[in-house]
């Protein structure tokens, strides 16, 4: 009897867990659809903006501008986008794996590394790394971010690059591909790399005119283009996070159903064994009375 009582408790506990994971799956599915629409809607604009940024970085006149000046890389700044909470499958692990591999590669090249984290999971990871400077920590921006949310990050990286505190800025985020595929990648923001541009354009021009001047054009355009990159990376990461959380909760719910079926079978077997034993005892008692 004690065995069946324990099994009943386990079945009840797993059912309660399944209700929680199912509810989280439905919530994530609802958030995922909105996040996917936002990411896909602006993706083409972001790709064109990055192509323009890379195109500008390939022009000799622009290379002398403080935001596009290419220097020997001695200090590198990473922007890592993660979540505040777990239960999102390998979302945080994949992004932090890319970051850690990049940091190890920098160490082998004697490059000093600093990091700006978005999300508590990234901050917790970076704090445990030796020799890595944690510049700033920003909480995850929630399900409805606004462009104003990324303004402090944008101001920080522009200041760090203009003042030559860092020689390269890379953002590590998770790009949404589909509900089943999300890729953690690193994108160079400053200086923008023509190798990572999405369009096959010849970036080398012998004659380029800027009106009224290179400085005025770049000052007004570069900041806006960088803002677009940050904004799109945030949207892609949000879509990936909700997709991976939905799939993780779906798998958890399915596993809970399998466990409930196994426990129910075990419970029925134990109960049948108890009934058989009681019948045997009754039959034995009847036979004893006949004697």
Helix (H) or strand (E) holding 135: strand 132-138
Residue 123 has pLDDT above 80, yes or no: yes
Q: Name the token pair of 71.
A: 């220097």
Count of domains forming the chain: 2
Tens of pLDDT, residue by residue over 185-210, are 998 888 766 555 544 444 454 456 66
pLDDT at 195: 54
Provide the whole-model pTM: 0.81
pLDDT at 99: 93
Taking the chain, what is the end-to-end CA distance rounded to the nearest angstrom?
30
* 218 and 271 co-located in one domain: no
Domain membership flag for residue 143: yes
Q: What are phi and psi of 269, to 5 degrees?
A: -65, -45
Tens of pLDDT, residue by residue over 38-90, are 888 888 888 888 777 777 777 777 777 777 777 888 999 999 999 888 888 88
Tens of pLDDT, residue by residue over 216-269, are 777 777 788 888 888 889 999 999 999 999 999 999 999 999 999 998 888 888
* 274 and 238 co-located in one domain: no
* 258 and 166 co-located in one domain: no
Domain membership flag for residue 32: no
Domain with 224, as residue range(s), is 38-246
Domain membership flag for residue 180: yes
For residues 138 and 97, what is the distance between their CA atoms, to the nearest angstrom?
A: 20
* 209 and 116 co-located in one domain: yes
Domain membership flag for residue 183: yes
Residue 289 has pLDDT above 80, yes or no: no
Helix (H) or strand (E) holding 136: strand 132-138
Residue 177: CA atoms inside 13 Å, Cβ hemisphere, count?
7
Domain membership flag for residue 82: yes
């Amino acid at each position: 009897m004690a065995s069946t009582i324990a099994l009943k408790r386990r079945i009840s506990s797993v059912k309660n867990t399944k209700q929680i994971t199912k509810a989280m799956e439905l919530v994530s599915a609802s958030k995922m659809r909105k996040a996917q629409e936002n990411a896909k809607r602006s993706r083409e604009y972001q790709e064109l903006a990055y192509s323009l940024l890379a195109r500008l970085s390939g022009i000799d006149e622009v290379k002398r501008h403080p935001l596009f000046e290419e220097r020997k890389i001695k200090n590198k700044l990473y922007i890592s986008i993660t979540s505040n909470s777990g239960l999102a499958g390998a979302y945080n692990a994949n992004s932090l794996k890319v970051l850690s591999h990049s940091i190890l590669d920098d160490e082998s090249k004697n490059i000093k590394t600093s990091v700006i984290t978005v999300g508590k999971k990234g901050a917790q990871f970076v704090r445990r790394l030796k020799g890595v400077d944690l510049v700033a920590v920003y909480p995850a921006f929630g399900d409805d971010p606004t462009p104003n949310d990324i303004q402090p990050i944008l101001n920080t990286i522009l200041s760090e690059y203009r003042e030559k505190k860092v020689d390269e800025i890379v953002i590590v985020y998770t790009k949404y591909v589909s509900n089943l595929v999300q890729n953690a990648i690193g994108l160079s923001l400053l200086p923008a790399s023509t190798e990572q541009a999405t369009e096959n354009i010849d970036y080398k021009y012998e004659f380029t005119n800027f009106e009224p001047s290179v400085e005025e054009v770049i000052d007004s355009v570069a900041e806006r283009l960088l803002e677009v990159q940050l904004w799109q990376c945030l949207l892609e990461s949000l879509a990936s996070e909700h997709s991976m959380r939905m799939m993780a909760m779906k798998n958890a719910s399915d596993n809970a159903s399998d466990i409930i079926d196994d426990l129910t079978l075990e419970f029925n077997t134990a109960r049948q064994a108890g009934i058989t034993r009681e019948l045997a005892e009754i039959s034995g008692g009847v036979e004893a009375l006949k004697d």
